């Protein structure tokens, strides 16, 4: 194939654009289906990469790729994806991770070091590039047994209380760890949430909503600080007797500001803004890079207080975002799935977009409104500059810390039936490419 071939030229331009985005060493978030399965890739500290380790630490969140999911019994609720998942298996996900490592091979510049292609398994479980699995709920659309059993047993699983008990009962995984509530064992310090076998620069914790009858409304927080080459240690104040977990020693870094962390807050069913206030109070500070919060208001049966709230939706999300001040708000868990059973007759859904929610608030601001709408308008005034983003099934995004420096990111979609698979590997983000754009002046 000649270099003048349009497909070859396109491939070269795409690869260059992707590598330019990856060179920023920012986290990448992949949406693996149309619902709420995610793959978070966090660049490892430069010291680890420089000495031959893989470029990314890979975290798989709530995987459900194919098949059905049942709540309690099939006659009550049986669902399946309306749209096939972009990633159909754990093997395909591993192939995606391998392609990402190959794309970053040019970022290792020191001579005499192993390339990412030859070191792709270093630092991970044998036979897989997945470093950790995180499960937010015990329900099978989050904790899908058939999908999870495809994961290598050596991969550590971090799960909420009931999900951890369920997963441990399968006898498949060697390490199943219950996720602690953030700040439950002392000061709100993200370093205390770094539990082995996590590396010391990553923590996983949970935010709980008070008075939550269905135990649905909570959030997972993945924190990380990958900026430092060397770390010394001191006793970890966040470790508490009886906590049940062995914790890393707390890192001692050169300056207080260097101990701050970035975070991804994942709340598929939503969480009350009042239960997120611990994050702005954290020390060292936590900068929320992305909030993953659904838009649809989903209820089960009845009206008003008689209904059981499943997903809190966009209006509640606006208030949570006001507290967290995330750089990006990404929708999740809004797939309208196929299914049958009693739940299908009782489920009520308001499909509200981010734009609809904000427009309603601004309209209320200019008219005669009640206290609730006035509060929403006040919330909206504090949200100017928030980047709303929709990652559809199979899309990926690199997240920049300071949105004012980078501007926005765009996606180029090449459907598989139109792309020359000899030029573009099928597994490479499933033909979705991330391209960083120069910010407009």
Q: 40 CB contacts (<8 Å, ≥6 apart)?
A: 27, 28, 29, 30, 58, 59, 61, 222, 264
- Report pLDDT digits (tens) over 294-345: 887 776 776 555 567 776 778 888 889 989 999 998 988 776 666 666 666 6
Q: In the prediction, which pLDDT does 135 show?
A: 98
Which residue did the predictor score with more confidence, 173 or 378?
173
* Mean pLDDT for the stretch of residues 147-156: 98
Say which DSSP state 66 is in: S
* Mean pLDDT for the stretch of residues 104-122: 55
- Report pLDDT digits (tens) over 244-275: 555 554 444 445 567 899 999 999 988 888 88
Which residue did the predictor score with more confidence, 358 or 433?
358
**Predicted TM-score of the model (pTM):** 0.78
Asked, for residue 331, whether it belongs to a domain, the answer is yes
Asked, for residue 19, whether it belongs to a domain, the answer is no
pLDDT averaged over the chain? 73
Which residue did the predictor score with more confidence, 209 or 345?
209
* Mean pLDDT for the stretch of residues 151-179: 97
Please state the domain count of the chain: 1
Highest mean pLDDT among 74-78, 115-119, 187-191, 315-319: 187-191
pLDDT grade for 349, boundaries at 50, 70 and 90 = low
Asked, for residue 37, whether it belongs to a domain, the answer is yes
* Mean pLDDT for the stretch of residues 203-208: 94
Q: How far apart are the first and last CA of the chain?
A: 39
Which residue did the predictor score with more confidence, 71 or 178?
178
Asked, for residue 425, whether it belongs to a domain, the answer is no
Q: In the prediction, which pLDDT does 421 show?
A: 31
Asked, for residue 383, whether it belongs to a domain, the answer is yes
Q: In the prediction, which pLDDT does 6 show?
A: 75
Domain span at 274: 25-399
Asked, for residue 433, whether it belongs to a domain, the answer is no
* Mean pLDDT for the stretch of residues 212-238: 67
Asked, for residue 4, whether it belongs to a domain, the answer is no
> How far is it, in rounded angstroms, from Cα 379 to Cα 316?
10
List of long-range contacts for 296-299, beta carbons under 8 Å, 24+ apart: 296/333, 296/334, 296/349, 296/350, 296/351, 296/352, 297/349, 297/350, 297/352, 298/347, 298/348, 298/349, 298/350, 299/347, 299/348, 299/349
Asked, for residue 313, whether it belongs to a domain, the answer is yes
pLDDT grade for 235, boundaries at 50, 70 and 90 = very low
Chain position carrying tokens 């490419």: 433
CATH number at residue 244: 3.60.15.10
- Report pLDDT digits (tens) over 6-55: 777 877 777 777 777 788 888 999 999 888 899 999 999 988 787 668 99
* Mean pLDDT for the stretch of residues 141-170: 96
- Report pLDDT digits (tens) over 48-75: 787 668 999 999 999 999 887 777 655 5
């Amino acid at each position: 194939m000649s270099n003048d071939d349009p497909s070859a030229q396109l491939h070269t331009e795409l690869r260059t654009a992707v590598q330019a985005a990856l060179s920023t060493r920012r986290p990448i978030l992949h949406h693996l289906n149309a619902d709420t399965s995610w793959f978070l890739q966090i660049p490892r500290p430069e010291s680890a990469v420089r000495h031959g380790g893989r470029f990314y630490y890979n975290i798989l969140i709530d995987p459900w790729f194919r098949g059905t999911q049942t709540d309690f019994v099939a006659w009550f609720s049986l669902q399946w994806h309306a749209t096939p998942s972009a990633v159909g298996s754990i093997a395909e996900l591993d192939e995606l991770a391998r392609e990402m490592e190959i794309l970053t091979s040019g970022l290792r510049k020191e001579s005499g070091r192993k390339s990412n292609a030859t070191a792709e398994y270093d630092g991970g479980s044998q036979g897989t590039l997945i470093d950790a699995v995180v499960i937010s709920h015990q329900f099978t659309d989050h904790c899908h047994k058939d999908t999870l059993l495809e994961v290598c047993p050596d991969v550590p699983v971090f799960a909420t209380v009931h999900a951890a008990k369920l997963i441990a009962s399968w006898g498949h995984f060697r390490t199943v760890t219950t996720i602690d509530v953030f700040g439950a064992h002392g000061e709100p310090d993200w370093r205390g949430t770094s539990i082995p076998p996590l590396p010391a620069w990553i923590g996983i914790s949970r935010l709980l909503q008070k008075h939550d009858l269905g135990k649905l409304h909570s959030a997972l927080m993945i924190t990380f600080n990958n900026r430092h080459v060397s770390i010394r240690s001191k006793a970890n104040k966040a470790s508490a007797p009886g906590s049940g977990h062995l914790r890393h020693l707390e890192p001692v870094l050169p300056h207080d500001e260097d101990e701050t962390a970035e975070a991804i807050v994942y709340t598929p069913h939503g969480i009350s803004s009042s239960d997120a206030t611990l994050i702005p109070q954290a020390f060292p500070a936590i900068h929320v890079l992305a909030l993953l919060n659904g838009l649809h208001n989903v209820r089960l049966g009845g009206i008003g207080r008689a209904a059981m709230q499943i997903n809190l939706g966009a209006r509640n999300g606006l208030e949570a975002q006001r507290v967290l001040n995330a750089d990006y708000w990404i929708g999740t868990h809004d797939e309208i799935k196929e299914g049958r059973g009693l739940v299908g007759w009782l489920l009520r859904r308001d499909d509200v977009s981010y734009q609809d929610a904000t427009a309603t608030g601004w309209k209320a601001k200019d008219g005669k409104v009640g206290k609730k709408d006035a509060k929403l308008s006040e919330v909206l005034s504090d949200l100017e500059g928030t980047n709303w983003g929709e990652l559809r099934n199979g899309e990926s995004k690199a997240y920049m810390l300071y949105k004012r420096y980078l501007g926005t990111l765009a996606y180029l979609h090449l459907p598989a039936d139109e792309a020359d698979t000899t030029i573009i590997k099928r597994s490479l983000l499933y033909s979705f490419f991330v391209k960083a754009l120069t910010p407009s002046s």
